[in-house]
Chains A and B, each alone.
Chain A
């Protein structure tokens, strides 16, 4: 077996050498992101692939690498980054979800002399620390914060964050951001974690929230960590007979969420504008690898944007195109 690994190691170095040698002009860009069936990440993927059309026209390629699930987020993503190096990437885009777990992998990218853009999570701090070219994106904490601030400013001063996936780092960031956001405008916030047996069951989530609202009548704002949960939250509030008094904001959106906003059952959705994250990150790297072009602006923020009744119609047009 050791013989095998030695063989494999030699083969891998050879492969990298070959790839690096052949790909002088065309940029083979690897994008590490969320899982393909995640509504938000499928939009980021779409943005990356649209930018990839340009890369392909110039002889390069864009490859998407995503984990199968978020159970082991940092570790899996670190693995994917290493995999991108193994596959001879000319440039890599990756999110710094769990710095402790992923920084060594990003370090390996920089050490190998591969241009790197951090996107979606980590912020410009991560890009500076790791020696990446730039940072493109919003971040989870700020997204939650914007939601808390929005609801608090609407006069909904007692909020609860509906956490259907307690323990996952990105979700925890939404919730702590929300709590801090609502506190920052003078309100108070709490987190309602649901047991794992409720995850993925809209009814269980709706009923849990309903029960919590009945038990805690002082709560008048709810933050949901995703569009599915936002939908369940709207249903739970209606069943508790509190439609209109309790307002909901949620991360991300789809057609039914926008319909909710149009109908007035949901106050707002936090838009991370994922299309931009994928599109801009890939474009920056493509033009850098091919033509040496750079973007002097550091930290390109794509969000959080807030979708509410004032801009819902324009957003709907984007959804129909698969870009929002």
Chain B
């Protein structure tokens, strides 16, 4: 996609996301009495955004390609439990635990990808199946192997430094990973043919295949990416917090989808950008965590999230229409 060739910022997919971000902050400042210095100084929402963002990036790419992956909700606890069981309970080297955690991600991603390419079943349904199955496998596995549903883990110093460190006492190192991954994805998606393939698939899979794009390979790769990212987030959480528990991750499903959509990605595929996903995640994190800094009663937070999502969707829609009318020949999606 030649997103960067377009000079006009307003027509870029992330324009809506950036405006949403500004609108949300303005709303909190005006109605919630937020002290901006306090808000920007706090690590909590950046940490929240980083954990969510690493999952949202590949999910967003999947959505650009016209697929969906909700099994991430089970992959996050799967990642943290597998490293905790292997390296914590059985006391094997931490590298083995990491390999198992990430390997499990590859495996589940492959299953999702193969099923999505070999059958005509929508990926929402396929990954719903793997979601429930993985939840069960993680729970049963942990209870059968360790007799417990939460397992402690003590990682060696070098692993903590790379994956589970608190910078400045409160910023999780995963923020650095998030930024690095975002940069990497920007490079791949917007500057290599691979990115064009993803967009083309979301626009029209048949013609993409006819144009010689290895659609199956791309789809499977994307599913593997999203499952591995999810188990990576789980793994980092286990290393940082020295423990893992079975439940958890379900809220990542909706949170990640909402972040991606706020970031301007079309659920029906073919439209979006990595920076949009990045800003969408930031926006969602501020909405979600920023409410702690306001005078607004915490009880209303879900309502605000819902309304914000709907507004963001409306706004992105207008921007997209603007973008499409401005260059009708280039965007068949």
A and B touching (Cβ–Cβ under 8 A): yes
Assess whether A167 is interfacial by the CB under 8 Å rule.
yes
| CB-defined A-B contacts under 8 Å, sample of 9 | A8-B40, A11-B40, A12-B43, A64-B298, A78-B241, A79-B48, A87-B42, A98-B241, A172-B148
Q: How many angstroms from the CA of A98 to the CA of B132 in the assembled complex?
A: 25
**B325, chain A: closest CB distance, angstroms:** 33
Assess whether B166 is interfacial by the CB under 8 Å rule.
yes
**B33, chain A: closest CB distance, angstroms:** 13
Knowing A82-B43, A168-B247 are in contact, say whether A68-B288 is a contact too (CB < 8 A). Answer: yes
Knowing A71-B250, A88-B38 are in contact, say whether A100-B44 is a contact too (CB < 8 A). Answer: no
Assess whether B292 is interfacial by the CB under 8 Å rule.
yes
**B252, chain A: closest CB distance, angstroms:** 8
**B135, chain A: closest CB distance, angstroms:** 5
**A10, chain B: closest CB distance, angstroms:** 8
Q: Is there an interface contact between A196 and B132, defined as CB atoms closer than 8 Å?
A: yes
Knowing A12-B42, A82-B170, A101-B242 are in contact, say whether A70-B247 is a contact too (CB < 8 A). Answer: yes
Q: Is there an interface contact between A71 and B247, defined as CB atoms closer than 8 Å?
A: yes
Q: Is there an interface contact between A65 and B245, defined as CB atoms closer than 8 Å?
A: no
Assess whether B195 is interfacial by the CB under 8 Å rule.
no
Give the chain A neighbours of B142 by CB distance below 8 A: 167
Q: How many angstroms from the CA of A69 to the CA of B305 in the assembled complex?
A: 15
Q: Is there an interface contact between A86 and B43, defined as CB atoms closer than 8 Å?
A: yes
Q: Is there an interface contact between B243 and A167, defined as CB atoms closer than 8 Å?
A: no
Q: How many angstroms from the CA of A104 to the CA of B293 in the assembled complex?
A: 23
Q: Which residue of A lies closest to B247 (CB)?
A: A167
Q: Is there an interface contact between A167 and B179, defined as CB atoms closer than 8 Å?
A: no
Give the chain B neighbours of A11 by CB distance below 8 A: 37, 40-41
Assess whether A83 is interfacial by the CB under 8 Å rule.
yes
Chain B contact residues, CB within 8 Å of chain A: 35, 37-38, 40-44, 46-48, 77, 132, 135-136, 139, 142-143, 148-150, 152-153, 166-171, 175, 179, 237, 240-243, 245-251, 288-289, 292-293, 298-299, 301
Additional A-B contact list (9), CB under 8 Å, known A14-B41, A15-B38:
A12-B41, A69-B250, A73-B245, A75-B240, A79-B47, A80-B44, A80-B292, A87-B42, A172-B148
Knowing A82-B44, A166-B246 are in contact, say whether A36-B170 is a contact too (CB < 8 A). Answer: no
Q: Which residue of A lies closest to B305 (CB)?
A: A68
Q: Which residue of A lies closest to B182 (CB)?
A: A1
**A72 CB contact (under 8 Å) in B35, B43, B169, B248:** B248
Total A-B pairs, Cβ < 8 A: 131
Chain A contact residues, CB within 8 Å of chain B: 1, 5, 7-9, 11-16, 36-37, 63-66, 68-75, 78-80, 82-83, 85-88, 98, 100-101, 104, 108, 165-169, 172, 193, 195-197
Give the chain A neighbours of B248 by CB distance below 8 A: 71-73, 167
Give the chain B neighbours of A82 by CB distance below 8 A: 43-44, 170
Knowing A71-B249, A83-B42 are in contact, say whether A166-B243 is a contact too (CB < 8 A). Answer: no
Knowing A8-B41, A15-B37, A197-B132 are in contact, say whether A83-B251 is a contact too (CB < 8 A). Answer: no
Most chain B C-beta atoms within 10 Å of own C-beta, residue among A14, A73, A169: A169
Give the chain A neighbours of B167 by CB distance below 8 A: 5
Q: How many angstroms from the CA of A195 to the CA of B170 in the assembled complex?
A: 36
Give the chain A neighbours of B43 by CB distance below 8 A: 12, 82-83, 86
Top 6 closest A-B pairs, CB basis?
Answer: A12-B41, A167-B246, A101-B241, A167-B247, A100-B243, A100-B242
Q: How many angstroms from the CA of A239 to the CA of B48 in the assembled complex?
A: 45
**A168, chain B: closest CB distance, angstroms:** 5
